[in-house]
Amino acid sequence: MIEIKDLHKSYKMGSNSLHVLKGLNFSIAEGELVAIMGSSGSGKSTLLNILGMLDEADSGSYTLDGVPIKNLNETKAAKYRNKFLGFIFQSFNLINYKSAMENVALPLYYQKVPRKEREEKALKYLEQVGLKEWATHLPNELSGGQKQRVAIARAMAAEPKVLLADEPTGALDSKTSYEVMDLIQNINDEGNTILVVTHEEDIAHMCKRIVHLKDGVIVEDKKVEQVRAAQYVK
Amino acid sequence: MLSRDNWKEIFETIQKNKLRTFLSGFTVALGILIFVVLFGFGNGLINTFDDFFGDDATNVLFVFPGRTTMPYKGYKSNRTIEFDNSDLEDIEKNFPLFVEYISPRITRQDTVSYMNESNSYRTQAVGPAHQFSEMTIMMKGRYLNELDIKNKTKYAVIGRLVEQDLFGSKNSIGKYIDVGGSSFKVIGVFQDDGGDNEERIVYIPYTTRQLIEKNTDKINQIVVGFKPEIGYAGAMALDKSLDKFLRSKKFINPKDQNGIFIRNIADQLKQNQQFARVLQIIVGFVAFGTIIAGIIGISNIMVFVVKERTKELGIRKALGATPKAVIGTILLESVFITTVSGFVGMLIGIAILSSLGEKLKDFFITNPYIDTSIAISATIVLIIFGAIAGYVPARRAARIKPIVALRDE
């Protein structure tokens, strides 16, 4: 599903440049649930941004679902993001003047799905994250956990190939974190490929594979025994 | 880009961001409103101005006789100058290239009565051409003609208000009125834009007046209408040579200030037109400034709007909005708001102007108005500049990498 080879990225900081990613190689198969771990400054967010086409690599290749991702103009990148990727952010990034349902329906708007169908689909995904009754509420009427579940529903609404989650539990307490992870595990169980960036050990062990980044290189890439989050919920 | 779905999205955004909508809408509406009202006031000033000077023909010289103050060629000073019928013919004969028409004018104040109604009016004994110089408009019947002059008929053309005073609502045509003791048949009723005084006049043939006044051939004034195509310079030349001609005919010292007077409307008109032009320039300048202020206002708000929405736009981009879609969202919204509020402001402005009418006449503003085309063009200019002002930051926002936009707090 995802294949990267010899990926480099550096940021210019005034006169000197900061080499963040120093030649990464790895691939992710369909249906995997991968955690990317590392302390801050290890390059994990940069990697996720490149995978999400929110940022561009300096060199190396990136193939997503057999499509080489390079030299994209903004319009093409937007279309690929819409088609291939669903984003889950640490700070939820819901549009605050739109209701939960409208937020979920937004990616479908950019796919030019008719309004009625959009709303049906949005409701379906809200139901899946257990927030159907909250469909008409604005984000500021929801708790943090609820917001993140709306964001997950939105990420899934476009039926992307890969879900990218950037510290999805970073702004949540541990109980809600586990609820969110439970949801992510359930989505993964249905066969969706999910990539989670986190620096929390327990969250990482709820995935099936952990890729450890340190100073821009992969220091460890191992399969782990998945800890089900469901046991902590309730 | 303009599908129903897009519009719905825009309406929702507008509805849910009332402050933003209000701010940009208010700026545009106020800008246009002030523009329309100011421009209207300017036109009102010009209207007042035209009212003072605008009711008579402008290609006219008035020649008045005076009283000499210098002796000349054996004639003593303090001699009253009088014009007579031969002067009319001489002027016509000597200035055929300049003169379009000529009419004498003998002004008297007479008691005019019909049945039991009676009143004092100005009577002017004139020739047929006088109709052109005064821009008299016939409401019914006819004006005096050459035959009336030749036959010295006792016909009268009366003003609208004279008819109203003497006849009430009855028709005056064909009736006989008494003018200063003589009976005249009413053959026409006229109106004049110059105000009430200009409509309380009775016109009779000048030859008839001369007959009544012991068959004299004297006339008071001479009204000379010159050909408009001779222009300002031609009018001034005619003024000069007419003065010279009459002075030599009447033996008046060329340096005598009082022997003869020529009032040249062309000369006055030029000054008036210059004044009106200056007024128009000032009005135009102020209006231009208002529009510029409006453009700056809407530009500021658009920059603010885009800044405020940077994060939202980042989210939209992450969800698959193309740069075109991002720019389209912002532009359509701003154009929609500026169009609606621009035309609302314009209509309010026009409504204010038309409700004012004559109420500000004390401040020299009469019937303020604005050409609809000017008001609409100004509104469109503001809409276009609003769109440009929105486009520049929108394009920048569309170019920001979504990751940067998302970090924006």
Chain A partners of B8 at a C-beta cutoff of 8 Å? 115
Can you give the pLDDT at residue A28?
A: 92
**Which stretches within A158-198 are classed as H helix?**
174-189
Residue B45: how many other CB atoms lie within 10 Å: 21
Tell me the shortest Cα–Cα distance from B285 to chain A, in angstroms: 43
Domain CATH number, residue A107: 3.40.50.300
DSSP SS3 for A177:
helix
Query: Taking a contact as any Cβ pair under 8 Å apart, which residues of chain A between 150 and 169 contact chain B?
Result: 154, 158
Instruction: Tell me, yes or no, if A44 comes closer than 8 A to chain B by beta carbon.
Output: no
User: Domain range holding A90?
Assistant: 2-232
- Give rounded-to-5 percent helix, strand, coil for chain B: 60, 20, 20
Chain A to chain B Cβ contacts (< 8 Å):
69
Nearest chain B CA: its distance from A43 CA (Å) = 15
Q: Which residues in B have their CB inside 8 Å of a CB on A?
A: 5, 8-9, 12-13, 16-17, 311-312, 314-325, 398-399, 401-403, 406
Q: In this structure, what token pair is assigned to residue B338?
A: 């500026």
ipTM confidence score: 0.88
Number of domains in chain A: 1
Kind plus residue range of the DSSP H or E element containing B48: helix B18-53
Per-residue pLDDT of chain A (234 residues; tens, 9 = 90+): 899 999 999 888 788 888 888 989 989 999 999 999 988 888 888 888 888 888 888 889 999 888 888 888 888 888 888 889 998 988 889 998 899 999 999 999 888 888 899 999 999 999 988 899 999 999 999 998 899 999 999 998 988 889 999 888 888 888 889 989 999 999 999 889 999 998 889 999 999 999 999 988 999 999 998 889 888 876
Q: Is A82 on the interface with B (CB under 8 A)?
A: yes
Q: Where are the alpha helices (DSSP H) in B254-371?
A: 265-318, 323-356
Q: Distance between alpha carbon A122 and the CA centroid of its chain, in Å?
A: 18
pTM value is 0.66
pLDDT digits (tens, 9 = 90+) for A110-124: 888 888 999 999 999
How crowded is the C-beta side of B331, counted as CA atoms within 13 Å?
Answer: 21
Q: A218 Cβ partners below 8 Å, 6+ apart? A: A24, A25, A26, A211, A212
Q: What is the pLDDT of residues A137-191, one digit of tens each?
A: 999 999 988 999 999 999 989 888 899 998 888 888 888 899 899 999 999 998 8
C-alpha B187/C-alpha B156 separation (Å) is 6
Walk along chain B (409 residues) and give the pLDDT tens digit of each residue: 457 777 877 888 888 788 888 888 888 898 889 888 888 888 888 777 776 665 566 778 888 888 888 888 888 888 888 888 888 888 888 888 888 888 898 888 888 888 888 888 989 888 888 888 888 888 888 898 888 888 888 999 998 888 888 888 888 888 899 888 888 999 999 888 777 778 888 999 999 888 888 888 888 888 888 887 777 788 888 888 888 888 888 888 888 888 888 887 777 777 777 777 787 788 888 888 888 888 888 888 888 888 888 888 888 888 888 888 888 888 888 888 889 999 999 999 999 888 887 777 777 777 788 888 888 988 898 888 888 888 888 888 888 777 777 766 5
Taking CA–CA distances from A94, the nearest residue in chain B reads B315
Q: At what angle do helices B231-250 and B265-318 cross, to 10 degrees?
A: 170
Q: Is the dihedral of CA B403, B407, B408, B409 positive or negative?
A: positive
CB within 8 A of B272, min separation 6: which ones? B49, B53
